[in-house]
Amino acid sequence: MSREIILDTETTGIAPAEGHRIVEIGAIELLNHLPTGRTFHVYVNPERDMPKEAEAVHGLSTAFLRDKPVFKSIAEEFLAFVSDAVLVIHNASFDMAFINAELSYLDKPPIDMGQVIDTLVMARRKHPMASNSLDALCRRYGIDNSKRTKHGALLDAELLADVYIELLGGRQTALNLVNETTSQAKRIITAANQSPTAIQPRRHPLPPRITQEEREAHRILVEGLGAEAIWKR
């Protein structure tokens, strides 16, 4: 059984090396690519002020976070929820830098990047010439993100779960995979057990579907393509 955790964080800035910290974690559990209903969501007191630029992105103020738990007090619960699951993150290097920085402050081992799937990398491979932000992917796949007026870790994780399924090939494909495989196997077995029958020629040939006018129009088109046209080879 495949267990995955869709994960997102909000922070005070863009780099832990500059003293920035995690202020929110949102995570959703998937089993075999389907949500189980189990989530992990917590606001975190970063033990520092909130820059106005960051607050404008996620709306979390210093005052709001002042009475929230510090990362140390939620670390064990977070690690237990994540456990050995595969982490699915959009722009994973950003979130993992902060998560592993927070773990290092507690002298805990980092989470291996080999345990992480980056949906931004997936999206860039699938749509190399397009915008692959979370909002852009929601628009591309028809996922309703109208509630996303600001960044929020749990909401973004919910949206990313839907995007992730689409990047894999679509929810319907995932839901029908077992049934489709079983049906295909039955068709192959049935065909193999049937006696081969000789192919009989049609008693009356099918009438042509191309009119004489269409044939003439095609001839004129090909003539206009020149002597080296592939139609003349």
Cα–Cα distance, 153 to 58 (Å, whole number): 9
Answer yes or no: is 54 within a domain: yes
Residue 126 CB contacts under 8 Å (≥ 6 apart), including other chains: 167
Answer yes or no: is 82 within a domain: yes
Tens-digit pLDDT profile for residues 127-178: 999 999 999 999 999 999 887 877 899 999 999 999 999 999 986 544 444 4
Q: Which residue has the tokens 């950003």?
A: 94
Nearest to 71 by CA among 137, 12, 29, 15: 12
Burial of 228 (0-12, 13-18, 19+ CB in 10 A): exposed
Is the CB of residue 26 less than 8 Å from the CB of residue 64?
A: no
What pLDDT is recorded for position 180?
46
What is the four-CA torsion angle of 98, 103, 104, 107, rounded to 10 degrees?
Answer: 170
Give how many domains the chain has, as a whole number: 1
Burial of 19 (0-12, 13-18, 19+ CB in 10 A): exposed
Answer yes or no: is 193 within a domain: no
Least-confidence region, from 53-62, 118-127, 135-144, 181-190: 181-190
Whether the pLDDT of residue 207 is over 80: the answer is: no
Whether the pLDDT of residue 89 is over 80: the answer is: yes
Whether the pLDDT of residue 232 is over 80: the answer is: no
- Tell me which residue range forms the domain holding 148: 3-175
Answer yes or no: is 67 within a domain: yes
Burial of 26 (0-12, 13-18, 19+ CB in 10 A): buried
Query: Is residue 33 annotated as part of the catalytic site, yes or no?
Result: no
What is the four-CA torsion angle of 116, 119, 122, 123, rounded to 10 degrees?
Answer: -170
Answer yes or no: is 203 within a domain: no
What pLDDT is recorded for position 109?
97
Answer yes or no: is 211 within a domain: no
Catalytic residue among 20, 151, 204, 218: 151
Whether the pLDDT of residue 80 is over 90: the answer is: yes
Whether the pLDDT of residue 189 is over 90: the answer is: no
Whether the pLDDT of residue 182 is over 50: the answer is: no
Is the CB of residue 88 less than 8 Å from the CB of residue 11?
A: no
212 or 161, greater pLDDT: 161
* Angle subtended by helix axes 171-193 and 153-168, to nearest 10: 20
Answer yes or no: is 202 within a domain: no
What pLDDT is recorded for position 199?
55
Arithmetic mean of pLDDT over the chain: 85
Cα–Cα distance, 117 to 93 (Å, whole number): 10
Answer yes or no: is 77 within a domain: yes
Alpha helix locations (H) across 83-129? 92-105, 119-126
Nearest to 148 by CA among 90, 227, 209, 62: 90
CATH number at residue 54: 3.30.420.10
Whether the pLDDT of residue 40 is over 60: the answer is: yes
Cα–Cα distance, 8 to 40 (Å, whole number): 10
Is the CB of residue 1 less than 8 Å from the CB of residue 31?
A: yes
Cα–Cα distance, 30 to 189 (Å, whole number): 34
Cα–Cα distance, 136 to 233 (Å, whole number): 45
Whether the pLDDT of residue 230 is over 70: the answer is: no
